[in-house]
Amino acid sequence: MPLFRLIFLLLIGFIAWKAYRLFLTRGARQPPTPPLQDMVRCTVCDIHVPAASAVRCEGKSFCNEAHRREFLARSGME
């Protein structure tokens, strides 16, 4: 019965298409991964800190104000 086979194949194709659409929708619903933060290295202690929270001075980056002062004191002595 060729007609029955044709309908059966169409039904299988329809189910596969629906499953594929569901798969795509689920993938789209996943929360986006957070953007990678720029990390900079502290000139004094070599710790990596987010660029947004780093202390910057004379083109160099520091993890906190104390290390910036430490660097300035050290470079001032030389």
Residues within the interface to Zn ion (CB under 5 A): 42, 44-45, 63, 67
Shortest Cβ 63–Zn ion spacing (Å): 3
By beta-carbon proximity to Zn ion, the closer residue of 37 and 53 is 53
Label residue 58 left, alpha or beta by phi (over 0 means left) and psi (-120 to 50 means alpha): left
Phi, psi of 47 (to 5 degrees): -75, 140
By beta-carbon proximity to Zn ion, the closer residue of 40 and 63 is 63
By beta-carbon proximity to Zn ion, the closer residue of 46 and 78 is 46
Write the single-letter amino acid at 61.
Answer: S
